[in-house]
Structure 1
Amino acid sequence: MDSPYFLMALLTIIVICVIFLLRHQRTIIAKTGFICWISLSIYFIIDYIVIQTTTAPYNFLAQPMSDLGVTTCGTDTYVLSSLEICSPYHLLMNWTFTFTGIAIFVGALFLHQFWPDRRETTIATIFLFIFGLSYTIAGIFPADVNFLWHTIPSIPGMIVQVPALILIGLSIRKEMPKLSIWTFICALITTSALILMSLQPFVDFFGLLQRILYGSVYLWMVITAIALWRKKD
């Protein structure tokens, strides 16, 4: 493993350890959780920058986000890809994948205190932790470096957000009805994108659908963090 990717893995482990140490510092972890989820708003800015720097044609409507993190240039750079890929800013993209995943699971754990104390919300938080961790692993292991380690952890990360949002939406529908409706809307969007992605190759918009799949959850997290922060104050 090259040193940048070793640092990504080390950072992830350190963050998980720090989460355990800070678990009782409710004020500190609340502000940290808010900032983590709100910071997800910059993900697609970086995505756009990396796309603009590719030296091989990149079709964001059709190509997966992972192609931007491929470390080598050429065709057949990894299993299931026959397109020409060349992303000079692949390291920036993989760091972004890593930090995005960390921001997701840190926010999920630190903001859990704002949900009703029920088994459903605990399960939802676990699902969101898995959602974030899978994204981090995708950055640590680019598709052309280790396709299995890149792909297998990503599979649950494409699904678990659906039950997570549904469980949270159901749990807060009395205490926070407006936020509950917002949660169900985002759950519907990400579910629709997931279903349409499963229709490949009949629907040739995998890249766009993948961005909607994740982006709808990012948007939910950004707006939810702002709403919870305002409610707290």
Structure 2
Amino acid sequence: MRSSPAATIGALCWVAAAPLFLTANVVVGLAWDDPAFSWANNNISDLGNVTCGVWDTTRPRYVCSPWHDTMNAAFVLTAALLIAGLVLTWRMWGQGKAVRWGRWLMAFGAAGLGLAGAFPADTNENMHLLGALFVFVCGNAGLLAAGCARNGTLPARLRPATLTLGVLGTAGSVLFIAQQGVGLGLGGMERVAVFPLQIWACYAGCLLYRTARRNRFRENRSTGEASSKR
């Protein structure tokens, strides 16, 4: 698997996406005062709500996120990094229906994060829910599709992790939509649904970047050996 400079940049975009989003979740959550932010009880979307007050009639909770702009920017930037990684690594994926479906579904899943950040839940709930649906359904379905790719493709090299994360994310989505926290709380279950795509991208990005570094090292060594023989 030869990696182009563009693909290497795409890999780095993927590597950066998950840490960025996780850091934003932690830092923006720490900015909450009264009540404190709870990963078990609060949704990720609560971090991006622009107003303070009681939110959600089915599960009422007081939401007040002082750094909501930071969280919404993180949503959008994470989406941009994931999509940039997909575009720049496009030719590295290989061929086949599973690869095509996987890429496009992951792209919609990533775009859903951008929609969720561009339209906070308390300003445009319909668009925000559409973005969340893309993340839950498309992102995790993309992982499952990619996990079925034929041998010789990029997803096939990551098959165990890809399928595991796809199953985990799908199960988390179903349970979250069914309002079942299963010991994690609904906030925790939502993270089980949302994080797998970003974790996969970080893992795949590390693999691609390591491969590019190895290939570059071999090329430089071959060039040096050829020069020494002259």
TM-score between the two structures when normalised by the length of structure 1: 0.80
Partner SS state of residue 72, structure 2: helix
Task: Pick closer, same or farther for the CA change 1:198–1:144 going to 2, 3 Å.
Answer: closer
1:46-65 → structure 2 map (5 Å cutoff): 46-57=24-35, 58-65=37-44
Whole-Å separation in 1 of the counterparts to 2:114 and 2:16: 15
Runs of 4+ with >3 A deviation: 78-81, 172-178, 201-204
Identify the match of residue 175 of structure 2 among 191, 196, 201: 196
Task: Pick closer, same or farther for the CA change 1:202–1:97 going to 2, 3 Å.
Answer: closer
Aligned residues of 2:146 and 2:162 also touching (Cα < 8 A): yes
What is the root-mean-square deviation in Å for CA atoms of aligned residues? 2.2
Cα deviation 1:94-144 (Å, max 9, x = unaligned): 000010111112212222211122232122111111011111011111111
Count, aligned residues: 207
Aligned residues of 1:65 and 1:210 also touching (Cα < 8 A): yes
Unpaired stretches in structure 2, ≥5 consecutive residues: 216-230
Identify the match of residue 35 of structure 1 among 5, 8, 12: 12
Task: Pick closer, same or farther for the CA change 1:230–1:211 going to 2, 3 Å.
Answer: same
Whole-Å separation in 2 of the counterparts to 1:159 and 1:144: 22
1:111 paired residue number: 89
TM-score between the two structures when normalised by the length of structure 2: 0.81
Compute the displacement of 1:230 (Å).
Answer: 2.2
Identify the match of residue 225 of structure 1 among 205, 215, 219: 205
Identify the match of residue 205 of structure 1 among 176, 179, 185: 185
Cα deviation 1:191-222 (Å, max 9, x = unaligned): 22123223315747111111122222211111
2:120 paired residue number: 142
Task: Pick closer, same or farther for the CA change 1:202–1:98 going to 2, 3 Å.
Answer: closer
Whole-Å separation in 2 of the counterparts to 1:214 and 1:152: 14
Compute the displacement of 1:190 (Å).
Answer: 1.1
Tell me which amino acid in the other structure corresponds to 1:223. Answer: Y
Larger CA Rg, structure 1 vs 2? 2
1:170 paired residue number: 148
Identity of aligned residues (%): 21
Whole-Å separation in 1 of the counterparts to 2:181 and 2:99: 36
Whole-Å separation in 2 of the counterparts to 1:109 and 1:79: 40
Partner SS state of residue 84, structure 1: strand
Task: Pick closer, same or farther for the CA change 1:188–1:201 going to 2, 3 Å.
Answer: closer
Whole-Å separation in 2 of the counterparts to 1:123 and 1:129: 10
Whether 1:75 and 2:51 are equivalent positions in the alignment is: no
Whether 1:182 and 2:161 are equivalent positions in the alignment is: yes
Tell me which amino acid in the other structure corresponds to 1:93. Answer: M
Whole-Å separation in 2 of the counterparts to 1:174 and 1:133: 28
Tell me which amino acid in the other structure corresponds to 1:31. Answer: T
